[in-house]
């Protein structure tokens, strides 16, 4: 049986969901801290990349398809970095809502000797009333999409996922869900 990949260049995929910034600090460890039994990392490099729904959209663009990503970021430095990184990729457009009282979800991983030592999560409990709805951005972008992907990391951007699915189905668009939720009744 021969498997043939689809022509991704002719497909436009709309990705809606939880955006986050993945930050990496890497360095060498050569001693244990005198304050606690933990390694001391001398940071020699750092990197920041889109995570969550942003990573999904980037992977789609890397396959050659056009993608549009929708999500919510804070009005903070991490939100700005995330938006700039997404906008820097060809084949990817973004329609982000900025929430003034919502810190951009950021995951900081500290690595040494090709191993993750710790992950620090910068996020606040979500109050859905404080988050802008993705509904209007979804409507603006749905007409150009061939497929919709909902990337739900449980951070709150997809609190209205059933409405988004109903809109996509009404427009004749197939919907794929990448859930981190264990309760599939949300979809």
pLDDT at 40: 96
Average pLDDT over residues 113-141: 85
Cα 19 from Cα 8, distance rounded (Å):
23
Please give the distance of CA 125 from its chain centroid, rounded to a whole number.
Answer: 17
For the chain, helix (H) and strand (E) counts, in that order, are 4, 9
Say what the alpha-carbon torsion angle 128, 136, 17, 78 is, to the nearest 10 degrees.
-80
Write down how long the chain is: 187
pLDDT at 187: 76
Poorest-confidence range of 42-51, 131-140, 152-161, 165-174? 131-140
Burial call 90-105: b when 16+ CB within 10 Å, e when fewer: ebbbbbbbebeebebb
Domain assignments of the chain as residue spans, ordered by start: 8-20+51-103+126-186
pTM for the predicted model, two decimal places: 0.89
pLDDT at 134: 85
- Taking alpha carbons only, the member of 130, 185, 118 closest to residue 156 is 130
Share of the chain above pLDDT 90, in %: 74
The H or E element that residue 71 is part of is strand 66-74
Bridge partners of 107? Answer: 22, 121
**Residue 140: other Cβ atoms inside 10 A:** 12
pLDDT at 9: 85
- Per CATH, domain 8-20+51-103+126-186 is 3.40.1190.20: yes
Alpha helices in the chain (DSSP H): 53-62, 77-87, 135-142, 161-170
∠ CA 98-83-85, nearest 5°, is 170
Cβ proximity of 72 and 56 under 8 Å: no
């Amino acid at each position: 049986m021969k498997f043939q990949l689809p022509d991704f260049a002719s497909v436009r995929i709309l990705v809606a969901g939880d955006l986050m910034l993945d930050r990496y600090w890497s360095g060498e460890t050569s001693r244990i801290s005198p304050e606690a039994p933990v390694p001391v990392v001398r940071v020699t490099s750092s990197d920041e990349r889109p995570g969550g729904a942003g990573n999904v959209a980037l992977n789609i663009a890397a396959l050659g398809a056009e993608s549009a990503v929708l999500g919510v970021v804070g009005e903070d430095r991490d939100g700005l970095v995330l938006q700039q990184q997404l906008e820097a990729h060809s084949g990817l457009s973004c329609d982000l809502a900025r929430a003034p009282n919502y810190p951009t979800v950021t995951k900081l991983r500290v690595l040494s000797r090709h191993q993750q030592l710790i992950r620090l999560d910068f996020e606040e409990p979500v109050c859905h009333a404080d988050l802008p709805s993705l509904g209007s951005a979804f409507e603006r972008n749905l007409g150009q999409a061939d497929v919709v992907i909902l990337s739900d990391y449980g951070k709150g951007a997809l609190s209205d996922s059933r409405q988004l699915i109903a809109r996509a189905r009404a427009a004749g668009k197939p919907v794929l869900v990448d859930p981190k939720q264990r309760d599939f009744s949300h979809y």
